[in-house]
Chains A and B, each alone.
Chain A
């Protein structure tokens, strides 16, 4: 089983619909991130959380919200989806305790808003 699991893997939704992307991890890491990836733009940070009570906006948070339900779960919501939110979304984790510099990524969720 993957250490960082994202659900769903693919989703097509209509403009104006609310949608939630879920992420769970078994690595025991305290820090979790949501990124979106677009061709030519790379990975852009949407939100990040350094622990359950700490939520921070990234560079492109408008139109998104998040919830850290537990240390292992971090969900991303699009309250009213629009076509330019069509992208590949990645959840990632990292561990502050060991000073490790690595971010571990899920397999991604391909979201299409029509």
Chain B
């Protein structure tokens, strides 16, 4: 079983839609939960991170962590064509500083 599971998509939505991206994980010791965005031909860049359970909001983006279910989500409101990218979830065992990545979900927002 992989440490982190993520639906690869692709996911295609119209501009203005609400997007929900999700990951599940198996290791209850993960402490930090991150979302990276990767544009075509670029390296991933950190979009948001949360510590432990709960929600975190940043503009149109909301990250949600449910540690009891080992499930994390990223919501994008009022999606824009510029949001078209691959979104990777990542998790961290803090003491080891090793990052565990999901396989990425490719999102296409159509104008």
Judge: A and B partners, yes or no: yes
A42 touching B32, Cβ below 8 Å: no
Residue of A4, A48, A90, A102 most packed against chain B (CB within 10 A): A102
User: What CA separation (Å) do A40 and B106 show in the bound complex?
Assistant: 10
- Binary contact readout A70-105 vs B (1 if CB under 8 angstroms, 0 otherwise): 000000000000000000001010101001011101
Tell me the interface secondary structure of chain A in the complex.
strand
Could you say which interface size class chain B belongs to?
A: 20 to 34
Total contacting residues, chain A, CB less than 8 A: 23
CB distance from B101 to the nearest CB of A (A): 4
Q: Hey, which bits of chain A sit against chain B, CB under 8 A?
A: 4, 31, 33, 35, 40-43, 45, 48, 50, 90, 92, 94, 96, 99, 101-103, 105-108
Q: Hey, which bits of chain B sit against chain A, CB under 8 A?
A: 6, 8, 32, 34, 41-46, 49, 88, 90, 92, 94, 97-99, 101-104
